[in-house]
Chains A and B, each alone.
Chain A
């Protein structure tokens, strides 16, 4: 601070707080919390139903792409695997899955 000089311990703590926010230019420009990433950065890093659990919700028959349709690959993944086709045949495949961590059981196998 330029015009106010902190003189005791409490004042220095306020000064430190002001200084730390002053230097954080990204934070200063933000009016709302930054949006959380919508797209997982790779299926191995995130909860991605189809990979972690099998159809029964367990891990015994852990998945192969061919055994279960893959939520994360749907729309986002560049890799050509057997996933529901969101453009032509299965545009509503994920419509019952608002939150993958809660609603993943609603993702069903696609029978073309």
Chain B
């Protein structure tokens, strides 16, 4: 909450500095992104002039008014303009109250649960070389634990979710693996059970699953469509790229197996969007070609990209030059996204859509994501974890589905992950959206979930700036398009 303080009279010696903001220009207009709030304002020429007039060492009230009057503004108008900028903290005074550091408050400790990710099996029929669950950077310790979730554990999880969701009207179940469909029978029973339980408690429940698509068949597809289960397919692109890392245990590529199944899935499953989720690795960086193939050739509705999670030295890690190529590709797709949006059409590049959704709300995150807050992962044994990426990792167990959440461990996890504890983030203007980045990635890279992901800061800032510019253009030229994102829920 921003506290607005009125100053009755500005002494001519009051010295102003630039507030914490990111200025950007798009479509011939000027904008500011206010970091302490996550708010976006369009500036008129006069407001832009004020910000331009404030040098690094600041400027005194009298001098600023005089400069504005010299540029043709009435004195009263100049005073009003300065007051407006002060009220939104676009400029700040040196008064101690105005320099208070503001960090988003920690969410309440009884934050109601919104989603569970059920790892219904830790088994997989592929052996993707970069897998965070089985690869060399794995943190899971699955030895001696069940590999498949039992129906009882799954049902307990559903009850747990409904009970812990407090006053929420809708909850969400995500199925994950391993390869999720290796335990389809359980998935089916859980969906039916959850629908029944949700109805009895007067709540809505929605479902989604992530799969490698190798096991899809007509029966499964029809079930997923009938029960509105959103499907995300982990997939890396056309055959040469897909088969590079996404291989069976004998080393054979998986493209030929999944291609006909995907076409059938996209053809028959009409109740929810079908999304592809691409992992970018060494040599798999041609995002435009991948996007074309997945969107135009195969027909996915949305395609999202993320660089592989890895410690510093893995042969599949993306090199810096490759990362620049990725960013260039992202910019090309972002330009396309804007062109589509200006015509009132959805483009399907998730990386833009997600950020635009958050900018529409003006999120100012205390934590990078909902892990440990509104979202928890459940391992096949029923152990709770911050999210699916920590499944079966003894180091990050947050309790068990039967005994409940371990409040102390969760408190520790959330305290570490809070943006206020990430020193490096305090001077970064992109922190309202990034909040330091993925907890899991931070742990793999730095050994601490609360460490800021410093290896992609430049990249995040550049990407956030790109999305802000898209937002700015749309807010001026096609504001009604942004209203489509108004209904999207914030992450936490």
Contacts and interface: CB of A to CB of B under 8 A. Distances in A.
Range class of the B interface residue count: 20 to 34
Contacts of A10: 37-40, 361-364
B46 interface: yes
Contact of A18 (B34, B88, B359, B362): B88
B87 interface: yes
A18 B89 CA distance: 12
Contacts of A11: 34, 37, 39-41, 88, 362
Interface residues of A, number: 18
B347 to A, nearest CB: 20
Nearest to B42: A5
A2 B84 contact: yes
A8 B88 contact: no
A31 interface: yes
Of A9, A10, A14, which is in contact with the most chain B CB atoms at under 10 Å from its CB? A10
A19 B38 CA distance: 19
Interface string A11-42: 10110011001000000100100000000000
B6 A28 contact: yes
A3 interface: yes
A8 B361 contact: yes
Contacts of A4: 32, 41-44, 47, 84-85, 88, 90
B81 interface: yes
A31 B8 contact: yes
A16 to B, nearest CB: 11
A18 B90 CA distance: 14
A23 to B, nearest CB: 13
Contact of A9 (B6, B8, B42, B362): B362
Interface centre among B32, B362, B475 (most CB of A within 10 A): B362
A92 B361 CA distance: 63
Given A6-B39, A10-B364, A18 B87 contact: yes
B39 A14 contact: yes
B472 interface: yes
Nearest to B47: A3
Given A8-B360, A10-B38, A3 B4 contact: no
Given A14-B2, A17-B4, A18-B4, A7 B471 contact: yes
B362 A8 contact: yes
A37 to B, nearest CB: 25
Nearest to A21: B4
A50 to B, nearest CB: 43
B81 A3 contact: yes
B84 A3 contact: yes
B41 A7 contact: yes
Contact of A21 (B6, B38, B44, B364): B6
Given A2-B80, A3-B84, A8-B39, 16 more contacts: A4-B47, A4-B85, A4-B90, A7-B475, A9-B486, A10-B38, A10-B364, A11-B37, A11-B41, A11-B362, A13-B39, A13-B362, A14-B37, A14-B87, A18-B87, A21-B6
Which 10 pairs, one residue from A and one from B, show the smallest C-beta to C-beta distance? A10-B362, A11-B39, A5-B42, A10-B39, A3-B47, A7-B475, A7-B40, A4-B41, A8-B362, A8-B40
15 contacts: A2-B44, A3-B46, A4-B32, A7-B472, A8-B39, A8-B40, A8-B471, A9-B486, A10-B362, A10-B363, A11-B34, A11-B88, A21-B6, A28-B6, A31-B8
